[in-house]
Structure 1
Amino acid sequence: MIQLQPSMQPSAEVKALFDEAFPLAERRPWPRQLQLLADRKLQLVELRKEGAFAGFVFYWWLPSFSFIEYIAIAPAARGGGAGSYVMQLMADKLGAIVLEVEPPDTEQAIRRIHFYERLGYQTFPDVYEQPPHHPGHGPLPLRLMYLHLPTDLTFETIKQTLYKEVYQIT
């Protein structure tokens, strides 16, 4: 079984998988990631399976929902429902969840969206742009998916909360 271990200091394995799993345009610069952890704005759980590194989840506790910003399962731990199990553990821990996904333009993006849909997530139909993490990069067109949101929480409110709290855009 995979266990969630809260961490304030990411292991070298977290950093390596972070760099491997996410393209540069989607990755916050690592020093900034560490600063957000130190400031206790960003949360990290390392995933362990029989003591071995199995992945990580970076997430935010926000006023009306939690935002899973990055999740990655280590190659050796993939398969057998590991991702579904971790997402269920996170749903139990966090309640209302929002996450970003690529638009359904590639086979991999479609598979990822279907994975989340099988877990009960729904997709907002609205256009969403992730602000750039790096100077000179443009915004990324993404979609927002959600689970267990209060019915009065709108797409616009969620977007503005993410822009303000996660991306520091006012």
Structure 2
Amino acid sequence: MLSFQPKNIISPEVIELYEAAFPEAERRPLPAQQRLLREGALQLLEIREAGHFVGFIFCWALTDFTFIEHFAIDPVKRGRGTGTKVITLLFEKYGRLVLETEPPRTIDAQRRIRFYEALGFGAFPALYLQPAYRAGGAPLTLILMQKGMFLQEHTFTKVSNEIYREVYGL
């Protein structure tokens, strides 16, 4: 059985998977990540199955949705339905979910988008730029996807503005 264990310190298991699963441009530096956890703004949920670490979620409880900033499953557990179970449990627990994903330029990105679409996520039809995590870095063109919300322009504007303000400090 899967469970979420809230943590306020980033474990070595999470660090290893975080650095393996996301390129540097898509990761917040670890000291900043740890500071946000200590302040209570950011939440870290370690995903466990039968007591064993299988992944993590970094997320933000925003006004009326939960923003999934980073989500990764141990490569050994991928392709076995673990990710589907995690997102299903997360939706049952928190309701409306929003996340960022890459545009469908690569096979992996296309696979990831199909995974989220199969779970009921839809892409907002507007351009979304993720601000750079590091000074001097370029913003990334991403797709903002949601589950449990409307795909209307005013919803996108409200959601993206809140993410920019709360998550990226803009």
* TM-score relative to the length of structure 2: 0.95
Percent identity over paired residues: 47
User: Structure 1's 150 and 127: CA in aligned 2 closer, same or farther, altered over 3 A?
Assistant: closer
Structure 1 segments of 4+ aligned residues over 4 angstroms from their partners: 150-153
Listed one character per residue, the Cα deviations across residues 124-170 of structure 1 (whole Å, up to 9, x for unaligned) are 1100000000122110000100000267761111111011000000x
2:123–2:151 contact (8 Å) kept in structure 1: no
Root mean square deviation of aligned Cα: 1.3
Which residue does 1:134 correspond to in 2?
A: 134
Contact 2:125–2:151 (8 Å) recurs in 1? no
Instruction: Tell me the equivalent position of 2:166.
Output: 165
What is residue 60 of structure 2 aligned with on the other side?
60
Q: How far apart, in 2, do the equivalents of 1:71 and 1:120 lie?
A: 17
Counterpart check, 1:38 vs 2:35: no
Structure 2, gaps ≥5 residues long:
none
Which ranges in structure 1 are unaligned for 5 or more consecutive residues?
Answer: none
Q: Residues 112 and 24 of structure 1: is their aligned pair in 2 closer, same or farther, counting only changes over 3 Å? A: same
Number of aligned residues: 169
1:60, distance to aligned residue in structure 2 (A): 0.3
Residue deviations 1:38-65 (CA, integer Å, cap 9, x gap):
0100001101112211010010000121
Corresponding residue for residue 154 of structure 1: 155
Alignment of 1:15-164 (within 5 A): 15-149=15-149, 154-164=155-165
Partners of 1:144 and 1:151 in 2: how far apart? 10
The TM-score, its normalising length taken from structure 1, stands at 0.95
Separation in 2, partners of 1:102, 1:122: 14
Aligned equivalents of 1:151 and 1:162: distance in 2? 16
